[in-house]
A = this chain, B = another copy of it.
């Protein structure tokens, strides 16, 4: 019943129908929920992600952290320096390969894990989702990310 669009009609979705905008806005919304919780332990959201990564696996290199978090050294280096200045971790060149810097938790950084313990439950509650729905959504978004990453790699490969 609806009039079929002419073949070369440009795609002009409304801002609030764009998936990328939904993701962008959800990121903002998550940040706002995390803010008061993280303020209480003195971390920003990206700093919290780094601490989560280190609590899961200590002693990683800057590059390995960057790969897990999709961040460049130009972002991580100053961020890690701030965490180091707070006393949560140390940064030291690997004695075997002095190119790489290993990031290690201090006892204070380990201890912070206990203070951050209640955060995930608060966030889960704020999402208003049941665990299975949350897991499904998480997987859908992760699959989307994988597709986008592949697309940007293919686009940038400069095939000749």
Of A117, A121, A135, A144, chain B has the most CB atoms within 10 Å of the CB of A144
So how many copies of this chain end up in the complex? 2
Interface residues of A, Cβ cutoff 8 Å to B: 10-30, 32-36, 49, 52-53, 55-56, 68, 70, 117-118, 120-121, 123-129, 134-135, 137-138, 140-142, 144-145, 147-152, 155-156
Which residue from chain B places its CB closest to the CB of A117 in the assembled complex? B10
- Inter-chain contacts of A25 with B (CB < 8 A): 70, 142, 145
A152 in contact with B126 given A26-B145, A28-B70 (CB within 8 Å): yes
Given the complex of chains A and B, what is the CA–CA distance between A117 and B150 in angstroms?
23
- On chain B, the residues within 8 Å of A145 by CB distance are 22, 25-26, 29
Besides A20-B30, A22-B142, A126-B147, 8 other A-B contacts (C-beta < 8 A) = A10-B118, A21-B49, A22-B145, A23-B23, A23-B30, A26-B142, A29-B148, A36-B156
